[in-house]
Amino acid sequence: MLAVWIPSHYQLNRAGWGTPSTASKAVIRSRAFEFVTGIYYAGHMQHKFQLRQLGAIDLITLRDIAEETFLDTFAAQNEPENITEYVAAAFSSDRVAAELENKESEFFFIENGSDVAGYLKLNRGTAQTEQSVANALEVERIYVRRKHQGTGAGKALMLHAISMAGLANLDWLWLGVWDQNVKAIEFYKKSGFVEFAHHDFYMGKELQRDIMMKLAITGS
């Protein structure tokens, strides 16, 4: 069974998203939380998912899925040469292997049987890509493969990230999202994230901007 922690000032609405609540305990009647027992419902469809933490043995599969989901998300909106340069650096086997070995980072696959539906990367401490949020956990990557989008896999991964932050007694869960990725921004807003800063970065040779967003975990 996958244990999922929900902050006490959050309750689940029928869509499975956390919304502010004055209740002293989380309300977990939502059908979405049947994911805890390995079954997740999205609409009228039943999807059986499992979450698995990754290790060195998963290097090749992780590298391939990381590149696949990145290209599916960003290739159409960026110049090919910039995408090629970025992917070569970010998803090389050596780079991914080093990230897997980092004790302050954790990777998870969400799986439907033997099929990987998506993945999650969490950073704490010095592994975080920004140090401006105190007592926090970073969602550096959260991706769902195209054929599994709309199944609830993304929501399940986000719930797991919230759970991990809560179990670690952290105050914040935060992430950066490209300001042109409207679909992702809406996803995070529905999860309860709010914008708090911006960060400029290079996609190849093109200067772009991330919106930094955070979610309060403890309510403090």
Among candidate residues 86, 134, 133, 129, the one with its CA nearest the CA of residue 104:
129
Determine whether 145 is exposed, middle or buried from the number of CB atoms within 10 Å of its CB (0-12, 13-18, 19+).
Answer: middle
Q: Are 153 and 117 in contact (CB under 8 A)?
A: yes
> HSE on the CB side for 119, CA within 13 Å?
23
Choose, from 10, 41, 188, 202, the residue flagged as catalytic. 188
Whether 188 is catalytic: yes
SS3 203: strand
Strands 136-144 and 172-178, sheet pairing: parallel
Q: Are 172 and 136 in contact (CB under 8 A)?
A: yes
Catalytic residues: 188
